[in-house]
Amino acid sequence: MGKSILIVEDDDLFRSFLATILKEEGHRVEEAHNGKDGLTKFLGGDFDLAITDLKMPLLSGMHLLKEAKKAKPGSRWLVITAFGSIDNAVEAMKAGASDYLTKPLRNPDELRLVVRRVLREADADTTISILSEELGKQFPPTEMIFLGEKMKKILKLVKEVSPTPTSVLISGASGTGKEVLARMIHQMSPRHQQAFIAIHCAALTESLLESELFGHERGAFTGAVAGKKGRFELADGGTIFLDEISEIPQSIQVKLLRVLQERELERVGGTKTINVDVRIISATNKDLKKEVASGRFREDLFYRLNVFPVSLPPLAERSEVILPLAEFFVRKFALPLGKPVRGFTAAAQHALTEYVWPGNIRELQNVIERAVILAAGEIDEEHLNIEIIPSKDSAGDGLLHKLERETIQKVLNEVGGNRKSAARILGVSLRTLQYRIKEYGI
């Protein structure tokens, strides 16, 4: 379905050239011959994307971009600059442009590809926003899920792969949110109106797993009094999520490989070939390359599953999200449990941030649920029931604390005491920074 695009360009011939290319793509195009006219049309319209030249009379493209972003911060912009003026494009990217092109264009595909990508990212952001509302009561908001630099990179990968039919392999320790990520990829894909079927491969015996995945015919084994569709058939047109994929026995790995290669299967005890159109997302908490090297996992299946790998970091490497997540879980459990819990004491915050979380987000959720049951008012350290293991090198810890205190003090001085700015520069949440300021007596 075509999008609404505004083109702001003072060169009539070049503007007409751009408009023709985009109309051929099926988009609705409106044109403005200078920056001032472009701003008026932009403010009065509803555009999915705006494209502007940077060098124009009356109002430059840079000023147009900045004014437009003030009025509609979520708007998408593509800037065009003359060849050799890349510095201007970089400045525009910092001001909020999604991407840039240089003119003259090498060929029409250069414009088509960039526009398609920017619009695809815009659609992904819209879907993420809707998904946040849909899953808000069950899962943390997406801005929390993707908090921190490591997760921002993963969000970019998710936006790129979601619209495609490509197989995705999500790796990460237990409790890092692999299934949540798989559901997001499905919801952001063209298959989102079809089924999302999840199966935990380690939870079933070999015979049960085979039947669950591929189905069975009546009489295929003792107790099979009727035929049954497998998960692949149920997921036809949609997505299947294979959790703990490393636990699949080799006999089933062969059949799974056939589904990936040929898009077809046979039920247990059956001879009829069944065609299926299923997108496969798999997850593992093991190193599949090591499983392949040991002979426990087929190499050809690994390469079929690992077309687009995504690795989730453990919670211990995402310290900035621990307290926001803990507060989310308090809100999640307090109301249904009928507990008027107001948050955490300083000692509890310290314990949460110092603990290593071997069970990751799932463990954090369980700890907070228990704490909400025990607490009255604020959650204290004693309600958490987690053991902080002291460092063997206490002298080293003292040095690290000293360096951390000096770094925080230096950044605060540089930003005139503005804690929000300091937290952004330090790459931590405002709450974490406030706790450190209190802890170090800054």
Kindly tell me if the per-residue pLDDT of 146 is higher than 60.
yes
Residues contacting 309, CB < 8 A, separation 6+: 168, 169, 170, 171
- pLDDT tens string 246-286: 999 999 999 999 999 999 999 988 889 999 999 999 999 99
* Average pLDDT, integer, range 402-428: 81
Same domain, 290 and 399: no
Confirm whether 167 is domain-assigned: yes
| φ/ψ of residue 74, rounded to 5 | -85, 0
Confirm whether 130 is domain-assigned: no
- pLDDT tens string 4-44: 999 999 888 888 999 999 999 899 999 998 888 889 999 88
Give the CA distances from residue 158 to residues 170, 188, 189, 286, 409, in Å, rounded to whole numbers and listed in that order: 11, 9, 10, 21, 37
Average pLDDT taken over every residue of the chain: 85
Separation of alpha carbons 97 and 90, rounded Å: 9
What is the total count of domains within the chain?
3
Give the CA distances from residue 217 to residues 45, 185, 220, 221, in Å, rounded to whole numbers and listed in that order: 58, 32, 5, 9
Residues contacting 220, CB < 8 A, separation 6+: 211, 267, 268, 269, 270
Same domain, 355 and 432: yes
Encoding tokens for residue 184?
Answer: 């997001």
Confidence band for 389, pLDDT divided at 50, 70 and 90: low
* Average pLDDT, integer, range 309-333: 89
Confidence band for 394, pLDDT divided at 50, 70 and 90: very low
Same domain, 324 and 300: no
Under 8 Å between Cβ of 213 and 258: no
Owning domain of residue 302: 142-311
Kindly tell me if the per-residue pLDDT of 390 is higher than 60.
no
Confidence band for 430, pLDDT divided at 50, 70 and 90: confident
Looking at residue 396, its pLDDT comes to: 47
Report the CATH number that the domain containing residue 89 is assigned in CATH: 3.40.50.2300
Same domain, 387 and 245: no
Same domain, 280 and 400: no
Same domain, 235 and 298: yes
Same domain, 165 and 281: yes
* Average pLDDT, integer, range 60-83: 86
Percent of the chain with pLDDT over 70: 90
Kindly tell me if the per-residue pLDDT of 332 is higher than 60.
yes
How many CA atoms lie less than 13 Å away from 350 in the CB half-sphere? 14
Looking at residue 399, its pLDDT comes to: 58
Same domain, 200 and 223: yes
Confidence band for 132, pLDDT divided at 50, 70 and 90: very low
Kindly tell me if the per-residue pLDDT of 365 is higher than 50.
yes
Looking at residue 125, its pLDDT comes to: 63
Kindly tell me if the per-residue pLDDT of 341 is higher than 90.
no
Looking at residue 136, its pLDDT comes to: 43
Kindly tell me if the per-residue pLDDT of 98 is higher than 60.
yes
Report the CATH number that the domain containing residue 352 is assigned in CATH: 1.10.8.60
Question: Is the model more confident about 332 or about 383?
Answer: 383
Percent of the chain with pLDDT over 90: 34
Same domain, 189 and 287: yes
Report the CATH number that the domain containing residue 146 is assigned in CATH: 3.40.50.300
Separation of alpha carbons 285 and 172, rounded Å: 5
Q: Are strands 49-53 and 28-32 parallel, antiparallel or unpaired?
A: unpaired
Kindly tell me if the per-residue pLDDT of 211 is higher than 50.
yes
Domain end (from 280, 311, 342)? 311
Query: In one letter, which amino acid is 53?
Result: D
Same domain, 209 and 287: yes
Same domain, 323 and 426: yes
Q: Which residues pair with 284 in a beta bridge?
A: 171
Looking at residue 320, its pLDDT comes to: 87
Tell me which range, 69-78, 110-119, 199-208, 274-283, is most confidently predicted by mean pLDDT: 274-283
Q: Shortest CA distance to 367 belongs to which of 332, 410, 418, 414?
A: 332
Same domain, 301 and 178: yes
Dihedral angle computed from the Cα positions of residues 221, 227, 232 and 237, in that order, rounded to the nearest 10 degrees:
170
> What is 72-130 written as a DSSP string?
-TT--EEEEEETT-HHHHHHHHHTT-SEEEEES-S-HHHHHHHHHHHHHHHHHHHHHHH
Residue 376 three-state SS: strand
Looking at residue 282, its pLDDT comes to: 97
Residues contacting 265, CB < 8 A, separation 6+: 214, 230, 232, 233, 255, 258, 259, 273, 274, 276
